[in-house]
Amino acid sequence: AQSVTQLGSHVSVSEGALVLLRCNYSSSVPPYLFWYVQYPNQGLQLLLKYTSAATLVKGINGFEAEFKKSETSFHLTKPSAHMSDAAEYFCAVSVMDSSYKLIFGSGTRLLVRP
């Protein structure tokens, strides 16, 4: 069975600082991994995805994530935080059966201080 764990329910950074949101996964097969962002009272927007190609994945809004099999991690980073990055971020793993349904982590709220 697949699962993801997000460490840190809240992360606070200063504007311009590095953003690091942590995600560790558990999967008995090579996983498909995703990062989504959610703004208040809205649906989810895909930031980036890993589907067994390049281990360093670049997404929208300057975010990127690196798949590290040895560490079972898929941490999300951005070199310089912007006020507009303040939101809830979810890591997800795809169940590798015919449904490819997503299992979400508990989420991390990113706060950006001016």
In the complex with another protein, the residue whose CB is nearer, 63 or 89, is 89
Query: Interface with another protein by CB under 8 A: which range of 13-21, 58-66, 70-78, 93-101?
Result: 93-101
Neighbouring residues of 113: CB distance < 8 A, sequence distance ≥ 6: 12, 13, 14, 15
Q: Does 61 bind another protein (CB under 8 A)?
A: no
Q: Is 107 in the site for another protein (CB under 8 A)?
A: yes
Rule CB under 8 A: say whether 114 interacts with another protein. no
The residues, any chain, with a CB within 8 Å of residue 73's CB and separated by 6 or more, are: 22, 23, 24, 25, 66, 67
Which residue shows structure tokens 């099999």? 69
| 100 lies in the site for another protein, by CB under 8 A | yes
How far is it, in rounded angstroms, from Cα 11 to Cα 51? 27
7 forms part of the interface with another protein (CB under 8 A):
no
Nearer to another protein, 14 or 52 (CB): 52
